[in-house]
Amino acid sequence: MTDQTRPLRVAIVGAGPAGIYAADALIKSDHNVSGPGVSIDLFERMPAPFGLIRYGVAPDHPRIKGIITALHKVLDKPQVRLLGNIDYGTDITLDDLRTYYDAVIFSTGANADRDLNIPGIDLNGSYGAADFVSWYDGHPDVPRTWPLDAEKVAVLGVGNVALDVARVLAKTGDELLPTEIPANVYQGLKANKALEVHVFGRRGPAQAKFTPLELRELDHSPNIEVIVNPEDIDYDEGSEAARRASKQVDMVANTLQDWAIRDIGTRPHKLFLHFFESPTEILGDNGNVTGLRTERTELDGTGNVRGTGKYNDWNVTAVYRAVGYLSQNISQLPFDDQAGTIPNEAGRVLASSGHPAGSTPAASSTATYIPATYVTGWIKRGPVGLIGHTKGDANETVANLLEDAPTFQGATEPDEAAVVKFLEDKHVPFTTWDGWYRLDAHERSLGEEEGRERIKVVERHDMTEISRTVLNRIEPPFITTNTGSSS
C-alpha cells in the first residue's frame, strides 16, 4: 500500500499538452487539499518539452503556439519536475518506473502517419504528412533536407493537418521567414518549386474536418489563390442536418460556397480544394510519382458517399497523405494496432487488448487492469479533436488514478533523488526545466539577431548541450524539484 504520509509519486511519460494537463489535474485535485500532495516527474523523449505544440503545429500559427504560455505555468509549479532527453524503453522501463513511482501515466501522443493502402503509395514522391510536419518544425530526429522539386502537388485529406501541409507548400519561404523556422527549413522552402497544390477529400464540404479559422487562414496569404469548383458544392439531407447541428460545419460550408462563386484572382500560387474525389491510385513511372487517380463520388442521402465509377487523373508529381496520425506501440503495454491506442477504460490500462479504447466492457467489474498504469491524450482515445480536448481526457484519467490510489502497491524507492541517481548511473544526459529556460533564452537570442521572436535549434546534441550548460560548464546531473526560477 502507498505510504499516506508522503506525497503521491506519479511519473508521466510524455511532456506534451496531454501530459502537462494531467500534471495540472493532479495538482488541482481534491487529494492535495487534505493529503500530503503529489510529486510529479514528466519524462520527455525530446530535450525540450511541449510535444505537439513544438513539433506538430505549423510555424505560422502563433495563436496555437500561445498555448505554451498556459503549459509553462504548470511546469513552473514546485510539484512538477521535467526530465527530458529520456527515451522510454531504452533509458528507463516500466519496471524501473514502478520502483520510483506509485503510478504511471502514459501521454505519448501520436506522431506517425496512418497508412493509406492504395497502389503506388510507396513510390518516390509519396510522403506522409507527419514526416513533412516534423521537417518544417525542426524535429531533431528527421533529415535536414526535404525534396521540394514538384511544381504540382497533391495533399490527401481534409483536416487541419492537410491544410497546414498545403499552406506551407503553397507559401513562399520569405513569407515563413519571420516565424521560428531554422535556417535549413527556410532554405528548403525558399527553393520550393510548387506552384499548384491540390487538396482532395472523398466526401463533401459538410463533411470536411477543417475548423473555420484554419480554413479562412488559407486566404490570408498574398501569394495563395484558393480555388473551389462550384460543382463540388453539394449537400444531401445528412449534410444539411450536419450544418444545422454544428455552427462550425455551417461556417466551413459557407466559406467554401463563397470561394466557389468568386472570380479567380491573380495570386501566383494556386491552392485547389477538391471534394467528392476519392484517391484510388498514385500513378508512377520508373519508381517516381507521375500522377494521382481519383474516383468521383456522390452523396447517398446520409452524408456518406458512394463511388460513381468515373475516374479522374491529376497531373501531380508529389503526393502527401494527411489521413490521420497513428500512435506507436509502447513496450511492456498492450496495444491495439487498428485503433492505434493502448486499450483502456476511462484511462485505466486494460491487461489485454480485449476492449479497445473508448469502448465499455460488457461488465465493467470483470475488466482486468494493469495496476497503477494509466493513459491520457491521443494514446488513450486516438488522434482526434483539438489540443484543448485533451483536458477532459486528463481530468477523467486523473480522477480514476486518485480513486485507485489507496490500493497502489507503492514505490519501493519514492525519494525524488533516487530516480535521478538511477539516470546518472546510466550516464543519461537528461535535461531539466531550468535547462528549458536556457534553451528558450538561446533560441530567442538567435531570433533577436534577425528581428524574429525565435529561431529554433534543431540538432539534438546542440539542444542538450545548451540546456545543460551553465556559465560555460556542464550542469551537474543531479537536480531537485524546480522552484520555477530561471537560473
**C-beta contacts of 242-246 below 8 A and 24+ residues apart:** 242/206, 242/207, 242/303, 243/206
CA distance 330 to 314: 39
CA distance 193 to 207: 31
Q: Is 214 annotated as a binding residue?
A: yes
As a dihedral over the C-alpha atoms of residue 201, residue 204, residue 209, residue 212, rounded to 10 degrees, the angle is 120
Q: Is 386 annotated as a binding residue?
A: yes
Please, are residues 225 and 270 in contact by the beta-carbon 8 Å criterion?
yes
Q: Is 44 annotated as a binding residue?
A: yes
Please, are residues 259 and 228 in contact by the beta-carbon 8 Å criterion?
yes
Q: Is 203 annotated as a binding residue?
A: yes
Count Cβ atoms below 10 Å from residue 71 Cβ, excluding itself: 22
Beta bridge partners of 279: 294
In this structure, what DSSP letter does residue 347 have?
T
Q: Is 52 annotated as a binding residue?
A: yes
- Which residue has 498514385 as its cell numbers? 282
- Tally of residues, the chain: 487
Q: Is 146 annotated as a binding residue?
A: no
* Cell representation of residue 449: 539577431
Q: Is 167 annotated as a binding residue?
A: no
Count Cβ atoms below 10 Å from residue 236 Cβ, excluding itself: 18
CA distance 81 to 479: 9
Q: Is 237 annotated as a binding residue?
A: no
Please, are residues 373 and 349 in contact by the beta-carbon 8 Å criterion?
yes
- Which residue has 486499450 as its cell numbers? 343
* Cell representation of residue 188: 528548403
Provide the annotated binding site for NADP(+). Answer: 202-203, 214, 385
Provide the annotated binding site for FAD. Answer: 18, 44, 52, 378, 385-387
Provide the annotated binding site. Answer: 18, 44, 52, 202-203, 214, 378, 385-387
